[in-house]
Amino acid sequence: TERIERHQYDVVVIGAGGAGLRAAIEARLAGKKTAIISKSLFGKAHTVMAEGGAAAAMGNVNSNDNWMVHFRDTMRGGKFLNNFRMAELHAKESPSRIWELETYGALFDRTKDGKISQRNFGGHEYPRLAHVGDRTGLELIRTLQQKIVSLQQEDKKEFGDYEARIKVFAETTVTELILDGDQVAGCFGYYRETGGFILLEAPAVVLATGGVGKSYKVTSNSWEYTGDGHALALRAGANLINMEFLQFHPTGMVWPPSVKGILVTESVRGDGGVLKNSEGKRFMFSYVPDVFRKMYADTEEEADRWYTDADNNRRPPELLPRDEVARAINSEVKAGRGTKAGGVFLDVSTRMPAETIRKRLPSMYHQFKELADVDITKQPMEVGPTCHYVMGGVEVEPDSAHATGTVRGLFAAGEVSGGMHGSNRLGGNSLSDLLVFGKRAGEHAAAHADSLSTRPRVADAAVADALRTALAPLANPEGENPYALQSELQVVMGDLVGIIRRRGELEDALVRLAALRKRVGNVGATGGRKYNPGWHLALDLRNMLVVSECTAKAALEREESRGGHTREDAPGMNPQWRTKNLVCALDGDQVVLTHKPVPTMRPELIRLFDRTELSKYMTDEELAAFDALAE
């Protein structure tokens, strides 16, 4: 019989990015025995790759900024589909979470008078992103890890053991949540290096597993982003919302092919970079949608003046929200005005002195020099859209981060959760989201563990099931090749559920995904248990598949275009659809889709907007309700 390593914890956090680390810190500060699990090496999460910064209305660079302006920008960015309460908590609490990081030892770039510096980013009215050059995520992770080490040192003093109350399981993949009735009872997984199995028993589990990008070939995401947390939640009885909304970042590298998709940070545009087509035209001026017309410059002269005098000029259209810029690039390339490699030009070389470029965008300078042999201080970059971020995720109660649905004791924070960003996330709002809701998830997971009079039990049968499922591909070496299946999945998603969608193609995608699901059921892996990436991918595939089905189903259902969901056959936003969230749940292995109303903003929040703006998004009934409020 298989030996399964077994541990007991109060709180288990799956994922060691910003959300997971912040949740674990909070649970440990509440005195709980806490485990952190990460699929890759500790410290190597998407959070570490974040470049631009963390959005927080501290008002350091423009004192007009405050939480209400940030809230408005976030709701506009998400096209008013956001869970307003999450957007409100996020806007109010982000500054404290950033300042708190300083007390943990973070060193942000500074303004001349010594405050945390803040930079411009798409969709943010004022300079708002706290940053460290273009390596903000690195500082965030470094600081959170350092805080964890300092807590471990305290525990060493008190208990003689660094890991008495907080332990990291690195290179460990969770494959299953274990339930006791409707209660989370723990999780099951394997060590990547040895292939040994591990069971962590806990009455509270926080999902902080990040995104789903690896279902697409052209993506900024790294190998571990296979939607595991999304799928674990579904299988445990939780709901996913907003899965049709995927963010295609406008600027990924397009050349050479081996690096296609790697991110080119939005800071390049925030700091003055401009987009040009192959005819040399700065084309974004032709793509400002009506809802944003008043806020964006209509001449290059005004746009350029904005960088030095933002109060008296309107923003350059290169800084529209990401969905707008990605669609614009897509249209230019389609119209035959793209580069040979299928992108457009992004230029800083004619906009800033070489010295400034190297100082403000050091990683971009090196990335292009090393990967593409392009010197961005002398030549333009070539860029195009890349699958970057999933707005959809686990539906949670906003204040507690507790998952909705039939399961108790399951929490979700960071990219794996849904609702906060509506149909489109603003750049910089993720790093702040991680901190705000990571903390909340940790706090409420700890409280949940305390609230139970008896601990849920892990039944032997549940463990046996999890073990059987994990070993199935190895018992089937003649089965389907996981790499072939993954690349077929990527073709279906990229071609049929990509940046621009159509009814017929989405229907086709669902048929193909159903066929792939059967084949994934017969996936095999050769070789043994020790560090076997083929086996690991075989296990990830069922997660990618169910999450992709949610995306395709919801994309077919939503007959409008909004944020990260563009339907060529249903252009424009439809106010009736704004009131609806699409909810995915599992019935057996079938994805079931239902409609649920988007929560209505509280009066004092809705009054932060003027009626003309609301009328662009809302139904007549909603506007009548707004008018009644005003009277």
Give the catalytic positions in this structure.
Answer: 249, 269
Instruction: Report long-range pairs for 375-380 (Cβ below 8 Å, ≥24 apart).
Output: 376/348, 376/349, 377/348, 377/349, 378/349, 378/354, 379/349, 380/276, 380/345, 380/346, 380/347, 380/349
Q: Determine, following the binding rule CB under 6 A, whether residue 414 of this chain makes contact with ligand FAD.
A: yes
Question: Is residue 60 close enough to count as binding ligand FAD by CB under 6 A?
Answer: no
Stretch that binds ligand FAD, among 13-21, 100-108, 361-369, 451-459 (CB under 6 A): 13-21
Q: Which stretch of DSSP H or E encloses residue 249?
A: strand 246-253
Q: Rounded to whole angstroms, how far apart are CA atoms 126 and 270?
A: 11
- The candidate with the shortest Cα–Cα distance to 513, out of 462, 549, 480, is 549
Residue number, 151 or 212, with CB nearest to ligand FAD: 212
Q: Distance of CA 86 to CAs 239, 388, 437, 565, 599, Å? A: 17, 21, 9, 21, 11
> What is the nearest approach in angstroms of ligand FAD to the Cβ of residue 122?
11
Pick between residue 217 and residue 314 the one whose CB is nearest to ligand FAD. Answer: 217
Stretch that binds ligand FAD, among 44-52, 198-206, 354-362, 576-584 (CB under 6 A): 44-52
Nearest to 104 by CA among 142, 131, 161: 142
- Regarding 127 and contact with ligand FAD (CB under 6 A), the answer is no
Residue 516 CB, shortest distance to ligand FAD, in Å, is 20
The amino acid present at 629, given as its one-letter code, is L
Whole-angstrom distance, CA of residue 180 vs CA of residue 452: 13
Apex 71 CA angle, 65 and 75, nearest 5? 135
Q: Does 20 bind ligand FAD (CB under 6 A)?
A: yes
Q: How far apart are CA 18 and CA 530, in angstroms?
A: 29
Q: Which stretch binds ligand FAD (CB under 6 A): 92-100, 282-290, 428-436, 479-487?
A: 428-436
Min dist CB 138 to ligand FAD, Å, is 11
Site for ligand FAD in 370-399 (CB under 6 A): 389
Residue 584 phi, psi dihedral angles, 5° rounding = -105, 135
Taking a C-beta distance cutoff of 8 angstroms, is the pair 170, 227 a contact?
Answer: no
Region near ligand FAD per CB under 6 A, out of 221-229, 237-245, 329-337, 508-516: 221-229
Give CA–CA dist 445/33, Å, rounded. 11
Stretch that binds ligand FAD, among 104-112, 235-243, 278-286, 411-419 (CB under 6 A): 411-419
Q: Is 209 in the site for ligand FAD (CB under 6 A)?
A: yes
Q: Least separation, in Å, of the C-beta of 434 and ligand FAD?
A: 5
Nearest-approach distance from CB 200 to ligand FAD, in angstroms: 11
Told to check if 62 binds ligand FAD by CB under 6 A, we report no
Our CB check for ligand FAD shows the closer of 390 and 570 to be 390
Q: What is the DSSP pairing of strand 590-597 with strand 580-587?
A: antiparallel
**Distance of alpha carbon 455 from alpha carbon 433, whole angstroms:** 31
Closest CB to ligand FAD among residues 189, 409:
189
Asked whether position 123 contacts ligand FAD by CB under 6 A, the answer is no
**With CB under 6 A as the contact rule, which of the stretches 16-24, 358-366, 512-520, 558-566 interacts with ligand FAD?**
16-24
CB of 556 to ligand FAD, least distance (A): 26
Among 83, 118, 152, 173, binds ligand FAD (CB under 6 A): 173
Would you say 190 or 306 has its CB closer to ligand FAD? 190
Closest distance to ligand FAD from the beta carbon of 44 (Å): 7
Which spans in 275-374 are helix H?
Answer: 300-306, 322-334, 354-360, 362-372
Number of residue whose CB is nearest ligand FAD: 17
d(CA 428, CA 99): 16
**Closest distance to ligand FAD from the beta carbon of 351 (Å):** 20
**Residue 132 C-beta: closest distance to ligand FAD, Å:** 11
* Tokens found for residue 337: 């005005």
DSSP three-state, residue 205: strand
138 lines the binding site for ligand FAD (CB under 6 A): no
Measure the CA–CA gap between 459 and 463, rounded to whole angstroms: 7
When binding is defined by CB under 6 A, the residue of 12, 25, 27, 37 that contacts ligand FAD is 37
Pick the piece of the chain touching ligand FAD (CB under 6 A) from 291-299, 307-315, 422-430, 494-502. 422-430
Residue 221 engages ligand FAD in binding (rule: CB under 6 A): yes
Instruction: By CB under 6 A, tell whether 537 contacts ligand FAD.
Output: no
Which residue lies nearer to ligand FAD by CB, 21 or 328? 21
Length of the chain: 631
One DSSP character per residue, 556-599 reads HH--S-BTTB-BTTS-S--HHHHTEEEEEEEETTEEEEEEEEPP
431 forms part of the interface with ligand FAD (CB under 6 A): yes
Would you state the structure tokens that stand for residue 325, as one six-digit string? 């810029």
Among 155, 224, 323, 395, binds ligand FAD (CB under 6 A): 224
Which positions lie near ligand FAD, rule CB under 6 A? Answer: 14-20, 37-40, 45-47, 49-54, 136-137, 173-174, 208-210, 220-221, 224, 228, 263, 389, 414-416, 427-431, 434
